[in-house]
Amino acid sequence: MKSLPAFVLCLLAHATFAQTDKTDYKDAIEVIDAWIDAQVDYQNLPSLSVAVVKDQEILWSKAYGSLNLENNREASTATLYSICSISKLFTSIAIMQLYDAGKLRLDDDIQTLLPKYNLKQQFKDSGPITIRALLTHSSGLPRESDYPYWTGPDFPFPTKEQMLTKLGSQQTLYPSSTYFQYSNLGISLLGEVVEKVSGKPYGQYVQENILTPLKLAETRPFIPKDEWGKKMAVGYGAKKRDGNRDKVELFDAKGITAAAGFTSNVEDLARFASWQFRLLNSDQAELLKPSTLKDMHRVQFMDPDWRTSWGLGFSVFQQDNVTLVGHGGSCPGYRTTLQLNPKEKMAYTVMINAGGESPELFAKEIREILAKVPKEKTSKKPSVELAQYAGNYSSQPWGSERIVMPWYGELMVLGLPTENPDESMTMLQHISGDTFKRVRKDKSLAEEVTFERDSKGNVIRMLQHSNYSTRNVRTSNQ
């Protein structure tokens, strides 16, 4: 695994920035960059790609690690990943396009649209299984078609013919519109509805009516086998006790494609998010009517537990009183997420080619760190150049390391690794010379923190509570 890059000079070497408003995100993005870089190493992630969207622009994007460990091929923001269940968003949009065109209704019974549908309804008092119920995962259908396709090493996904044939031996789990039950089977059936109603193969319809119009050239309703290990990241399993991960064989979702078979990259999902922000703030249709997308983003079903809510195809949830919409993806060897904050026109997408990880955690922490950015330049300009203190400092044997970085007129200290960087950031305010004081949560000042230099004037260590942390000097090629 690579070492933490040299700070200040190298943190931005492969990053992409775009300022879409007057907010200065620079310091916050450098902190996010350093934090993710460390987490990739400490969690032994093969690769991670990330993009942050501000309305119609990519505010920041970057990739870390290797898309293929066998040849150490470097990942980029163009690297393809299986996006698994994020595929459901494209299927849902296809359904809602047909709804906008008057070719189906949300309360249509699935049996009227798919003559081959013969799954047993075991509850006599159940209402019909509708398009709306399938989009909100409240249909009562089983989670999966009755095949062990999430089981390795071969992941035997059924063809659509096999999936439809097996329906007759399956039955509902609950009466329709009673409980939330996530269902790959249900969304796969919606893919069949798209074919039946449009008269086109599912993949062709999605390509012609969604991907091509939105210029999502790197998003595909299939797994590009010829790109695996080249442009597409190789998938790896969850971390084992020895810290290593096994390579996962490539799968083909076949009949479950509408629920889990797409590939994409963070750049394309950023464009996909920008389209949604554009449509939500328009009075003109673009693939969908604005009102239709707004309905898709609204809560359409709430589980009786009052914790799980769903829109039309979209997960709708709250974090820290912020309403987010989107979807996550988890397939053999890949974990991905796309989260949108429609109110702020901000979106976050993270892709990892490893099982057992949480791209949602990365997206959450990125959002929360950016939320700490001052909206106006209220901080005083320090009388010293803060970048000279930046670097990583040893915390051994008590901890792994601490990083020190500029933060809007102060210094920020963060222990690594950490899953909660936004809560773990400590601020230092400059007093005089090489002396700072810790800033308490109430903004009052606490103990002194002093930096010491060598005979050449280079900062070499940090003194706090009468104890030292040594600065590690690294070069960009280490």
Secondary structure (DSSP) of 144-183: S-SS-TT-TTT--PPPHHHHHHHGGG-B-SS-TTSS----
Q: Where in the chain is the domain with CATH 3.40.710.10?
A: 81-371
Quote the DSSP letter at residue 211: I
Q: Determine the average pLDDT of the residues in 386-394.
A: 96
Q: Which residues contact 380 (CB under 8 A, 6 or more apart)?
A: 409
Query: What are 149-198's pLDDT values in tens digits?
Result: 999 999 999 999 999 999 999 999 999 999 999 999 999 999 999 999 99
Distance CA 47, CA 66 (A): 5
- The answer on pLDDT for 19 being more than 80 is no
Segment (H or E) for 371 = helix 359-371
Which pLDDT band holds residue 475 (cuts at 50, 70, 90)? Answer: very low
The answer to whether residues 19 and 29 touch, using CB atoms and an 8 Å cutoff, is: no
* pLDDT confidence bin for 377, thresholds 50/70/90: low
φ/ψ of 81, rounded to 5, equals -135, 155
Measured between alpha carbons, how far is 183 from 174 in angstroms, rounded to an integer? 12
Say if residues 339 and 320 touch (Cβ distance below 8 Å): no
Domain 81-371: CATH architecture, name and number where available:
3-Layer(aba) Sandwich (3.40)
Strand partners, 51: 61, 349
User: Are 182 and 259 spatial neighbours (Cβ–Cβ below 8 Å)?
Assistant: no
∠333-338-342 over CA atoms, to 5°? Answer: 175
The pLDDT assigned to 26 comes to: 95
pTM: 0.92
DSSP 332: T
Percent of the chain with pLDDT over 70: 94
Q: Does residue 275 surpass a pLDDT of 50? A: yes
56-65, 201-210, 224-233, 391-400: least confident range: 391-400
* CB contact at 8 A, 169 and 119: no
How high is the mean pLDDT of the chain?
93
In this predicted model, which residue has the larger pLDDT, 454 or 377?
454
Query: 392-411: per-residue pLDDT in tens?
Result: 999 899 999 999 999 999 99
420 close to 426: Cβ distance less than 8 angstroms = no
What confidence score (pLDDT) does residue 4 get?
42
Question: Rounded to an integer, what distance in angstroms lies between the CA atom of residue 111 and that of residue 129?
Answer: 8
Read off the pLDDT band of 472 (50, 70, 90): confident
Q: Retrieve residue 253's tokens.
A: 């979702």
pLDDT band at 1; cut points 50, 70, 90: very low
Structure confidence at residue 11 as a pLDDT band (50, 70, 90):
very low
